[in-house]
Amino acid sequence: MALSDIIQRRDWENPQSVNIHCLKAHSPLASYRDINHARDGIHAQRQSLNGQWKFKLFDAPEQVEGEFIDVQFNDSAWGDITVPSNWQLQGYDKPIYANVKYPFEVNPPYVPADNPTGCYRTRLTLTEADLESTQRIIFDGVNSAFHLWCNGDWVGYSQDSRLPAEFDLSQYLTAGENTLAVMVIRWSDGSYLEDQDMWWLSGIFRDVTLLSKPKQCIEDVFITPDLDACYRDGSLSIVTHISAPETSQVHVQLFDGSQAVTEPSIARPHNRRIDERGSYDDVVFQTLHVREPQQWTAETPNLYRVVVSLLDAEGNHLESEAYQVGFRKVEVKDGQLQLNGKPLLIRGVNRHEHHPELGHVMTEEDMVRDICLMKQYNFNAVRTAHYPNHPRWYELCDQYGLYVCDEANIETHGMIPMNRLSADPQWAHAYMSRYTQMVMRDKNHPSIIIWSLGNESGHGSSHNAMYAWSKQFDPSRPVQYEGGGANTTATDIICPMYARVNTTVEDEAVPKWPIKQWISLPNEQRPLILCEYAHAMGNSLGNFNEYWDAFREFPRLQGGFIWDWVDQGLSQWDNDGKHFWAYGGDFGDTINDRQFCINGLIFPDRTPHPTLEEVKFCQRMITVALTQQDKQQCHLTVTNEYVFRSTDNEQLHWSVLENGVEVQSGQCTLAIDAGSQQTVDIALDFQPKADAKYHLNTDICLISATPWAQAGHVSATEQFTLSNTSSLTLPKISILSAPQLSEQGRDILVSNLDKKHQWQWNVESGLLTSWMVDGQSQLLHAPEDNFFRAPLDNDIGVSEIDNIDPNAWVCRWDAAGIGRWERECVSCTSESLSQAVKVTSTFAYHHNGGVQAITVWTYTLDNQGEMHIDVDVTLADHLPPMPRIGLELALPLPSDNTTVTWQGLGPFENYPDRLAAARFGQHTQSLDAMHTPYIFPTDSGLRSGTQWLNVGNLECTGDFLFSVSRFSQQQLTEAKHTNELTLEDKIYLRIDHQHMGVGGDDSWSPSVHEEFQLTDNTYRFSIMLKPRHN
């Protein structure tokens, strides 16, 4: 078929043209020519066609050179492109990021006339011997639709960017050199079904493989594991589809490594059937029984290998296929999702396939790194949001142990109504094809315990049809789907997104009940697993522990999948060579949702966010409780939350801290069966000091390395405050003379007797303008009231995307002028006391003609060089909850000491509603490490519960929260990327009395819980500052 005929057909604007001439979907095939090769997974008859292909991008399909499909076409002037890749990241076209809106006019099934079209050409050489076998080409992923030619002949067409398209090339190939030509179209009717929250990228982005199979071959294998009623003995039901005479035989055997576990099972089809739809493939049904097999779970990923071989009538070997299998049984039973008879708690995350340089191309190294990180941070499940992943991903999840919710490549988020296509019979075939082909490809993976019908497509007849087909074809797995309210008849699991623990989310279309209430609705017996929750956008994840308290309390609340795993930033460099992570709008894409793709728990380069520490703590598999303490010992109860394994590879390491410094430590072996507890007694062998604070830390550590972590890896932590009954001692009171007080013009001067410490206030401004110690300035900027924070993503909400939400925190703060108030010094007075000098400054803050706040600063200075600051804050009644109540000053940047040491919660960033994982102690970090480089710059680096702090040339004492940074709040507010920040030669020290929570139930509504909002009208706090090494 000529290219002109293809253009006229316009398959890419026809929802009925899902694929043409593609082979039936099936489990992955390798075509081993020997049973032992199949058992060992070697010498598969698969040839990779990845590499350098010739490439040219055209503005539309109609502009493609018609001769490019011909063998003789001269492509020497074309560029080279790597396959697999996204062409937007190879110097062609531009990436587009949008969350909801389609990046083109919505007029299904039609797409824009300006439709970038990438043409690929490559050559492959075959021998006469090769042609004796069937040659199939497999495209594992092409976005969004493509036509294929071989040696000038049209082969077929396919869409659905996340599933394989497989064609039989045998009739087109010749001995010697062969030419493949592929025309990939950026926009197709399939794009309307792929409106996921990710980058719109195009091209051949997954592997291309040539599969050689004999003429008589295995076409598909479906292996269903099962356990008996006692969950002890196992069986494998094996259905094999063959293309071979009905006299052929199928030989099946199970292996554990190189050891055969079962005797061979040999069967013939004898069931050829023909009805009004045509003939069926020959199918062979076999069952293998195994006594007490090692069961597969995410905790114990025990795998066997099934080898399925095709023999001719005389028993001669023709071909083998092999699959890793796990014995496990998935059920929704007694209102719970159960595996092998035991309820699960899903510690899950949504994961997009994203690489900062390669886009949607994932290497095996990337996949392994993601899985290891997930396991290290106590995840046990992943949702393939929102499409089938690379085939290798599932094999690795089988191997390392992760539960998988496998999701169809269907999302119509930008449709109005959202179910417009889901309820349209014209699109039913496209829906069904996407779902059934995913199931057919992935059906043999033990890690897949849930099928998902897709995401955010409303609820329509197509969902009901997919659900019904799934329950008929594979009743061994439950099906979930959130659309239409999360609890329709098309889901076995209540799977809402962003439902909260205790409050109703008022949504006009589909209100979301609190999860505790949802499971109590009349006649509702299904388990609840949040398909998305805890929106981890930037500095977020407040109140995450509240979800986990509920999950542990209510058996039918079985966890959820955090949104989401990785920031979808793309590596870019500005004109000065500074690196930054790009997001929507950075490539000239005018329809975009800016940084809404930046909502991962890890940065694009897989560096963890501080939020991941909170996740790790809340999701810990082994918990420790302090049940009793006396002077001699502590009694601990250690609970093993693993469902299927004992603590045979864990030790408990403990330490006692005195004022944050370790004074005693030890360790003990844990021997706790799954779901059981152990009591641990720790003898206390130290003499408590009066007025000292004592804490007990516990760490659960791996004894031996695992495939996903090194020996010594800490999987769980706890901290307990110990009581100290030692008698208090009264501090010695020294009688000191007061510093000298004087006035010079409009300045107040204070100095101690030896002139080592000198302070100066300007009476008109009321500010401390100078603080000198031994002739060296302690300050670069005077201490000032600080009510503002550089807005977090959760503060901004949707206000910066395409509308202004007056209810967003940033809009409410802006309307109140917070951060822009005009300061007036009402008074600045001083007085000399018997042992100190007191300076009092009163400030009024004005906005729009009214007084918004009054603060009174009282400085008390003694001859030792200590400066005590008491601050009283009174706020106007009409103000919204404040971002923070505190002060800010700037210190000189020392040349020899850029570390920060504090006694308080740490060591990582923590905020009032996200500090469950933080531990009290004495912590030291570099100055640079105190700033978190969020891709969209915001306030960061807060540490809570601080008793004292050493930073720069200053020591601070009190009870406060703090952050230090070399970036001003103005910079952090105005910058949109990290490369726009400029390090300053000073240290900004922000000391907070109180700081608003970060929120995180979602990122588009004010999600900070009331108890973490600053709603009082009056505040009072104190801080003591003195020179470091005084």
Tell me which residue has tokens 């099946």. Answer: 252
Is 534 labeled as ligand-binding? yes
Is 596 labeled as ligand-binding? yes
Is 292 labeled as ligand-binding? no
Q: Residue 272: which region, alpha, beta or left (left: phi > 0; alpha: psi -120 to 50)? A: beta
Cα 437 from Cα 166, distance rounded (Å): 12
Contact residues for 979 (Cβ-Cβ < 8 A; gap 6+): 574, 576, 578, 579, 580
Cis before 673? omega within 30: no
The helix/strand/coil state of 882 is strand
- Identify any residues that bridge with 923 across adjacent strands, giving them in sequence order: 902
Which candidate in 353, 456, 482, 658 is catalytic? 456
Is 911 labeled as ligand-binding? no
Cβ–Cβ under 8 Å, residues 551 and 623: no
Closest CA to 92 of 120, 50, 51, 62: 120
Which candidate in 219, 319, 482, 532 is catalytic? 532
DSSP 397-429: HHHHT-EEEEE-S-B-TTSSSTTTTTT-GGGHH
Tell me the backbone φ, ψ of residue 488, rounded to 5 degrees: -75, 180
Tell me which residue has tokens 């055209």. Answer: 58
Q: Which helix (H) or strand (E) holds 812?
A: helix 809-815
Cβ–Cβ under 8 Å, residues 925 and 907: yes
Q: Which helix (H) or strand (E) holds 518?
A: helix 515-518
What DSSP state is assigned to residue 191?
G
Cβ–Cβ under 8 Å, residues 615 and 606: no
Cα 162 from Cα 526, distance rounded (Å): 30
Is 26 labeled as ligand-binding? no
Residue 532 falls in the annotated catalytic set: yes
Is 456 labeled as ligand-binding? yes
**C-alpha distances in angstroms, 378 versus 65, 400, 613, 833, 898?**
53, 13, 10, 58, 34
Residue 456 falls in the annotated catalytic set: yes
Closest CA to 61 of 120, 104, 106, 10: 10
Cβ–Cβ under 8 Å, residues 1010 and 914: no
Is 548 labeled as ligand-binding? no
Is 1009 labeled as ligand-binding? no
Is 532 labeled as ligand-binding? yes
Closest CA to 877 of 1006, 995, 1019, 1015: 1015
Tell me which residue has tokens 């399939």. Answer: 190
Query: What's the farthest any 2 CA atoms get from each other in the chain?
Result: 113
Is 299 labeled as ligand-binding? no
What DSSP state is assigned to residue 791?
P
Cβ–Cβ under 8 Å, residues 970 and 505: no
Is 599 labeled as ligand-binding? yes
Catalytic residues: 456, 532
- Residues marked as binding for Mg(2+)? 411, 413, 456, 592
What residue numbers does the annotated binding site for substrate cover?
99, 197, 456, 532-535, 599, 1004
Annotated binding site: 99, 197, 411, 413, 456, 532-535, 592, 596, 599, 1004
